[in-house]
Every structure is written in structure tokens, then in C-alpha cells.
């Protein structure tokens, strides 16, 4: 037997042919380990989940043959790291039969283009092919920015992340996430944008706030199909005293009379929360003083539980746009809303609109309520809780309050309008130019009556010709088309009108002979012609009744016959027709109860009337106290307005109703625009101040 190390021998044998014979050792020389190679590459994997299949690295010689006897320790590490991820698991493994198998590797950051590098002592390393690490499917929500303790009303920024079952953010998730209060120790109310769509898997809530103080609040995050999350508890605590606020503003009062309700000033923190531990002395004084008045009563009061009540203040001289100021040591002072000192206004007429009301007293126009569109005719204030004069010094015979605009008629028959003009409802010949002061209606027509509606206006000239202008989407102008007009345009048909009344998207008029005609939208039968067909020209109301008055509401119409019997038609929602039912009717139906009315007014979804004896009755929607009977319950038949007042006229609006007594005093009830000097609502009539 030759030695395993014996060299190969060459021998020459004599013959006809010379042969080269090579004799080699019987055993092959050993292979030398020189490098590493990935024999099973890393595959796409979920963050935090072991890659499948396991990664394998072999010890090889220079020709790429695995050295099966190799037992080298091989270490893996991240090579290319597109997302800054970290490698977890057992990343140093001894080769078995020349191969190291890594069974529990994971990477915690999602990314495309990762590689792994393999190293071992004295061997050439290897780099894997590229692979991706991805998130799993959306499974749960987690608060990744927790709410922090703050003051009631203070901003509570939070962030909620969509995660997979392994707790990884899912960048592709765009779920809509909703935040609500979980634990609510202070019975607080959550404000702000409470539903946000996730962006890159994260929903950020930047303007949340909660109203009331309390310890141990939590927030809850929910999204359909995902496990909800509850935040860590937090505290809402009132901050230190910082400022003053009028929480009951001074109301319009008579000269020398006690201002009621009592003026109230509250000590607040920076977020507007009452500081109940504060007992500062607060002093009130006259700010704006248009009448040169003197403030009498107890003008300095120590706060109790953070509130100072001034119960006997009065001002001696009449004046419009008084204000009070409140001051206290080391606190930011405040100025009240404007108010007037005057004797009670004696109104000739009052008109209730959607968000405001107006009236005429001694020939002057007054309006109150919301002024966001300039509908009050007062360019100085966003809202007035008491009647304030309409700018311009015009003398009015009547004023009509619509939805976002108002129109008035002078004694000479000139029409003026103010407020919203998005549909040309001011009739000035211009569209999209609101006016906070009265603007003359184009054309120089002499009107006997003018009436402001939802987004259109109509009037009747002294010659009985009907004109309308503004929105005409449903033919509510009655001009035979649906083309919008920003100047008065004659109603088609050649009828001679006594009055025209606007509804929401329709109009009704009464001729001098007492015949009723309507035009516009008719989906609820509000035109009363027995159909639900939309009309762009006047059509007669069915029934051959002779009317003394016709009034168009939001979705229904009503009229009084010459004998004082009330009939209504259109939508019966909430009982607006007064016939004991809630069904609609496309023809006039008698109002239940047999009452004889002197006047009547159809509101948005309710109706009111005044009998010959001056008693007021209302029926229909009562969600804001519109009926004035002391409840919020709707009525499908007439119910008496509380208070026993004797009315000469009544006007039903959207959220409220107003009336004028036989003595010329105005009262309103319902919500938004009561004119009693304070915001809020009332289920019974309150005097307009």
C-alpha cells in the first residue's frame, strides 16, 4: 500500500507506442474551507415574525463545494438597512455538516431592500440577496401619544396607531378612527375633531378638549374590525384665576329701572373655566356711555365660588349701545355686550325669521338675533340679543325677516333689503355681494307689501302686480322659468295680487278677489293644487275657497277664509297642518278645533294664529318651544300659547315665534332670537326689551 502522501510517478515503457503512465495516491487531497455562501436566502417576512424558511449559510471551498466537515461559528448581521431595523434572534450559529441554520431571526423595522451579511473567522464573508420586511394585517389600535393632564377646555393632543398582531405599525392603514370619552369622572363633553383617517397607519387628533374638571378621565379609540384601545388616565384641573367674563350680560332696561336679569361676572382660568376657589372683589362700571348715564347700585361685589352677581344695577339716562366693564386686581378685565337703556319699544309689526327677528317701532326698524350675514342691518355686531336699530335712519312701514336676509318697506312704498345676497335676493342687480346695511331694491317700483323668504323675495306693487327676485331653482319666482333673477321680475299670469308670501322653495299669493295661487316646489303638496308637480307659474289652490290671508311656510301653506276659518295644505310633519294628523295633503284641509282666527302665520314646520279675541294658538313642530305652551312636545291640533296675553298679530319663524300685543308690546318664544336681552330659549312668551 502506498502512502497517502506518495507522489504520482511517471514511467516510460518501451513499445511501439510510448505511453505516459501516471500513478497517483489512492486517496484524494482534503478540501480547504475558504468562504461562506447563503444556500437558503432570507425571504419576505412580517416584522417581528421569524422569516420562513429559515436562513442557511454554508462553509465552502474555493469552487463552491460545501465542506461537510466544517463546524465554524457563523454570525449574521444586517447588511443593507433601509429602515434602521434591528436584528433579533440567535445570529451566531455553529455549522453542522458545513451548514449553519438560523431559525429564529426577525427584524423590527419595515423596509424594502434589506440584506444580511454572514461572517466567520478566516473565511470570506457573504451577502444575501435583497428581501423585504413588511407589516402584518391591521389588527388593533394603540395610543402612541397618550393624553396629558390639562385644564378643562384645554387642547388634548393624542395619536392612535394601527398595528398588526405583533404590535407593528401598519403603514398602509388608512382606517377611520374615532375617539370617545371612556372613564368620565367629571361628566365632561368631548369637543374637537373626533374621527380622523389614519395616515401611514397613524391618526393624529390635534384639537380635542373636554369641558369639565375631573381626575381619572380616559379616552377610547375605536375603528370597525380592529381591537379598540383605551388611553392612560389623565386629569383635567381648573387652572389659576386669569380673567373675568360676563356670564350674564346686561339686558336692555328702562331708565332708572333695575337691570334684570342680574348681571353676573365670573372669574375664569385661561381656558374659560370657572375658578370656584376665587373670591376676588369685582367692580363694574359704565364703558360706552351714549346717554351720559350714571351707574347706580352695588358696583363692587366679592365673588363667591368664583361668581359675582350684581343684583341691583341701574342706569338713569336713555341711550343705545351702552356697555359695562368689569375689573379685578391682577385679572384681565372684560367688556359686556352692548345694550340699551330705553322705555319699552311699542311695535307696530314684528316678523320672525329663521335665525333672527325684526320689527317696526315708531317708524324705526329694529332687528335682533344672529347677524352672520348682515341680516340685522347692523354692521357693528355679530349678534344682538335685544333689538338694535337698523342702520341708515330709514323710516319703515313694515319689515319682513327671511332666512339670511331681511327686507323693509318705507311709507312711500320704497323697498330696501339687507343681509345675504348669494342668490340675488336683495334685488339690487348684484349677486354674491352681501350688505349689512339696507340697500335699495332695483327698479324704483312702489310696493304695497314686500316679503323676504328663504333665498328669494316677493312684493306686490300698489297696482297689485306681483314681483319676485332671488333664487329660482324650483320656479319659486313664478316667472315661468327656473332662471335666477337679481332684480324684481313680474310674476307670470297677469294676476292682481293683494299679497305674496314666500315659503322655502315656493311662494303663494292671494288675489284681490281672495283666490289663492301657489308656485314652485311641490314635493309635499305645498302648492295645494291636488298634485305634487313642480310649477314655475302660479296655479290655483284647490277647493274654490275665498281667502282673506294666505301664508307660505317651510314645507306647508295655510290660509284664512273671509269667515276666519283656517285651512292648511302640504307637509303634515309634526302636525303642521293642524288637522290632528301628520300626513301630507295636496289640497286644503280644515284646521281642527273650530276656532275663528283674525290672522295666521305659517312657519318652517309649525303654524300660529290669533283669534278675534286676541288669543294665540299654535300647532306643529315644538322642538325649540316654538308653540309657546310650556312644553317641547309637538301638537297636531291648535294649543293655546301660555301667558294669557292678548295679541294683535303673530309671526311664526324657523325656531321661534313672535307676536305683538294689542298694547304694542312684542313677545317671542322658542329659540335663537327672543330679543329679551339674553341668549337661549324659552318655552313661553318673554318680552322683547
Tens of pLDDT, residue by residue over 55-73, are: 999 999 999 999 999 999 9
Sign of torsion, CA 295 247 403 585?
Answer: negative
Q: Does residue 177 contact residue 159 with C-beta atoms inside 8 Å?
A: no
CA angle 598, 537, 350 (to 5 degrees): 30
Record the cell numbers describing residue 340, joined without a space.
Answer: 340699551
Indicate the SS3 state at residue 574: helix
Mark the ranges of the chain whose per-residue pLDDT is less than 50: 1-26
Strands (E), 192-242: 195-197, 202-205, 209-210, 214-217, 219-222, 229-230, 234-236
For position 240, what pLDDT does the model report?
94
Phi, psi dihedrals of residue 360, rounded to the nearest 5°: -120, 125
CA-to-CA distance for 470 and 398, rounded, in angstroms? 20
Number of Cβ within 10 Å of residue 582's Cβ equals 15
For position 20, what pLDDT does the model report?
38
Long-range contacts of 396-399 (CB under 8 A, 24+ apart): 396/360, 396/363, 396/364, 396/365, 397/360, 397/363, 398/348, 398/349, 398/351, 398/360, 398/449, 398/450, 399/349, 399/351, 399/358, 399/359, 399/360, 399/365, 399/367
Record the cell numbers describing residue 454, joined without a space.
Answer: 328663504
Q: Which H helix or E strand runs over 598?
A: strand 597-602
Indicate the SS3 state at residue 130: coil
Record the cell numbers describing residue 117, joined without a space.
Answer: 451579511
CA-to-CA distance for 689 and 685, rounded, in angstroms? 12
What is each CA distance from 276 to 199, 210, 273, 298, 311, in whole angstroms? 42, 18, 9, 22, 20
Q: Does residue 579 contact residue 591 with C-beta atoms inside 8 Å?
A: yes
- Among 46, 98, 50, 51, residue whose Cα is nearest residue 72: 98
CA-to-CA distance for 31 and 446, rounded, in angstroms? 116
For position 5, what pLDDT does the model report?
40
Domains of the chain: 35-134 (2.60.40.720), 140-236 (2.60.40.10), 243-341 (2.60.40.3960), 347-687 (2.130.10.30)
CA-to-CA distance for 340 and 190, rounded, in angstroms? 37
| pTM recorded for the entire structure | 0.69
For position 15, what pLDDT does the model report?
40
Q: Determine how β-strand 126-127 pairs with β-strand 347-352.
A: unpaired
Indicate the SS3 state at residue 224: coil
Question: For the chain, give me the number of helices (H) and strands (E)?
Answer: 0, 64
Indicate the SS3 state at residue 470: strand
Phi, psi dihedrals of residue 661, rounded to the nearest 5°: -75, 170
Amino acid at each position: 500500500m502506498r502512502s497517502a502522501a506518495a507522489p504520482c510517478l511517471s514511467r516510460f515503457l518501451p513499445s511501439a507506442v510510448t505511453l505516459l503512465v501516471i500513478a497517483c495516491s489512492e486517496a484524494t487531497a482534503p478540501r480547504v474551507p475558504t468562504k461562506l455562501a447563503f444556500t437558503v436566502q432570507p425571504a419576505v417576512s412580517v416584522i417581528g415574525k421569524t422569516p420562513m424558511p429559515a436562513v442557511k449559510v454554508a462553509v465552502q471551498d474555493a469552487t463552491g463545494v460545501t465542506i461537510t466537515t466544517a463546524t465554524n461559528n457563523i454570525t449574521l448581521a444586517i447588511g443593507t438597512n433601509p429602515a434602521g431595523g434591528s436584528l433579533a434572534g440567535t445570529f451566531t450559529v455553529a455549522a453542522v455538516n458545513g451548514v449553519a441554520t438560523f431559525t429564529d431571526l426577525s427584524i423590527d423595522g419595515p423596509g424594502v431592500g434589506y440584506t444580511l451579511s454572514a461572517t466567520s473567522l478566516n473565511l470570506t464573508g457573504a451577502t444575501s440577496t435583497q428581501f423585504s420586511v413588511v407589516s402584518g394585517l391591521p389588527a388593533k389600535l394603540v395610543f402612541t401619544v397618550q393624553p396629558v393632564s390639562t385644564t378643562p377646555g384645554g387642547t388634548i393632543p393624542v395619536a392612535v396607531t394601527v398595528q398588526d398582531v405583533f404590535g407593528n405599525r401598519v403603514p398602509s392603514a388608512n382606517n377611520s378612527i374615532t375617539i370617545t370619552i371612556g372613564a368620565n369622572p367629571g361628566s365632561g363633553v368631548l369637543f374637537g375633531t373626533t374621527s380622523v383617517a389614519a395616515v401611514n397607519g397613524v391618526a393624529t387628533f390635534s384639537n380635542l378638549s373636554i369641558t369639565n374638571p375631573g381626575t381619572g378621565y380616559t379616552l377610547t379609540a375605536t375603528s370597525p374590525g380592529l381591537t379598540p384601545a383605551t388611553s392612560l388616565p389623565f386629569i383635567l384641573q381648573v387652572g389659576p384665576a386669569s380673567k373675568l367674563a360676563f356670564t350674564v350680560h346686561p339686558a336692555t332696561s328702562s331708565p332708572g329701572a333695575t337691570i334684570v336679569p342680574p348681571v353676573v361676572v365670573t372669574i375664569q382660568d385661561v381656558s374659560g373655566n370657572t375658578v370656584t376657589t376665587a373670591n376676588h372683589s369685582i367692580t363694574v362700571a359704565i364703558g360706552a356711555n351714549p346717554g351720559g348715564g350714571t351707574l347706580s347700585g352695588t358696583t363692587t361685589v366679592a365673588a363667591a365660588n368664583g361668581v359675582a352677581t350684581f343684583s341691583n344695577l341701574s342706569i338713569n339716562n336713555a341711550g343705545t349701545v351702552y356697555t359695562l366693564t368689569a375689573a379685578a386686581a391682577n385679572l384681565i378685565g372684560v367688556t359686556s355686550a352692548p345694550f340699551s337703556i330705553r322705555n319699552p319699544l311699542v311695535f307696530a309689526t314684528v316678523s320672525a325669521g329663521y335665525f333672527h327677528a325684526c320689527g317696526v317701532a315708531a317708524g324705526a326698524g329694529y332687528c335682533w338675533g344672529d347677524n352672520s350675514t348682515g341680516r340685522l342691518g347692523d354692521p357693528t355686531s355679530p349678534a344682538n340679543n335685544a333689538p338694535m336699530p337698523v342702520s341708515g335712519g330709514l323710516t319703515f312701514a313694515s319689515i319682513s325677516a327671511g332666512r339670511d336676509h331681511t327686507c323693509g318697506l318705507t311709507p312711500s312704498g320704497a323697498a330696501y333689503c339687507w343681509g345675504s345676497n348669494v342668490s340675488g335676493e336683495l334685488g339690487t342687480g348684484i349677486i354674491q355681494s352681501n350688505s349689512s346695511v339696507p340697500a335699495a331694491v332695483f327698479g324704483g317700483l312702489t310696493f304695497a307689501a314686500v316679503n323676504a323668504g328663504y333665498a328669494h323675495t316677493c312684493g306686490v306693487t300698489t297696482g297689485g302686480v306681483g314681483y319676485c327676485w332671488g333664487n329660482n331653482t324650483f320656479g319659486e319666482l313664478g316667472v315661468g322659468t327656473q332662471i335666477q333673477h337679481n332684480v324684481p321680475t313680474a310674476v307670470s299670469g297677469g294676476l292682481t295680487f293683494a299679497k305674496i308670501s314666500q315659503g322655502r322653495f315656493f311662494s303663494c299669493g292671494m288675489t284681490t278677489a281672495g283666490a289663492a295661487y301657489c308656485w314652485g316646489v311641490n314635493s309635499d303638496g305645498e302648492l295645494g293644487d291636488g298634485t305634487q308637480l313642480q310649477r314655475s307659474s302660479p296655479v290655483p289652490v284647490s277647493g274654490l275657497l275665498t281667502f282673506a290671508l294666505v301664508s307660505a311656510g317651510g314645507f306647508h301653506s295655510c290660509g284664512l277664509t273671509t269667515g276666519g276659518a283656517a285651512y292648511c295644505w302640504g307637509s303634515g310633519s309634526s302636525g303642521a297642518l293642524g288637522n290632528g294628523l301628520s300626513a301630507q295633503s295636496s289640497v286644503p284641509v280644515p284646521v281642527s278645533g273650530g276656532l275663528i282666527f283674525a290672522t295666521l302665520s305659517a312657519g318652517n314646520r309649525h303654524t300660529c294664529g290669533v283669534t278675534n279675541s286676541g288669543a294665540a294658538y299654535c300647532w306643529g313642530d315644538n322642538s325649540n318651544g316654538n308653540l309657546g305652551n310650556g312644553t317641547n312636545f309637538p301638537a297636531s291640533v291648535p294649543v293655546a300659547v301660555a301667558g294669557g296675553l292678548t295679541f294683535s298679530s303673530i309671526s311664526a319663524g324657523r325656531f321661534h315665534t313672535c307676536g305683538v300685543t294689542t298694547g304694542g308690546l312684542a313677545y317671542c318664544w322658542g329659540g335663537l332670537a327672543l330679543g329679551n336681552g339674553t341668549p337661549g330659549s324659552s318655552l313661553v312668551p318673554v318680552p322683547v326689551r
